[in-house]
Amino acid sequence: MDRFTPKPDEAKRPRPKAAVGGGFVVMRRGDSSNRLFGHPRPYEHPSLEVAQAEAARLAAKHNRDFCVFQQVAVAPAPAVPASSTDEVA
């Protein structure tokens, strides 16, 4: 199990102070590639201010650039049609 693979019970419980569905995520930029690096289970922050404070804390700690991203849209999954056995004749 690598460091990014959660333990079986870990994936089901929220992390401390996480806001599931909060919509603000902090990610690191690569030094030379400028690509984004994130965790398989991103930590969601409840507000822009909290996410910016976390990005600043991480940037100071790791001496790297961290960015804040906000969820701007949701593409809902298509509705599953009822099976023919569920229909009333």
pLDDT tens digits, 13-22: 555 666 677 7
According to the model, what pLDDT value does residue 53 have?
A: 93
- Decide: helix, strand or coil at residue 61: helix
Predicted local distance difference test score (pLDDT) of residue 80 = 85
Share of residues in the chain with pLDDT > 90 (%): 30
For 30-46, the pLDDT digits (tens) are 878 878 887 777 888 99
Average pLDDT, the chain: 78
* DSSP element (H, E) containing 25: strand 24-29
pTM of the prediction?
0.63
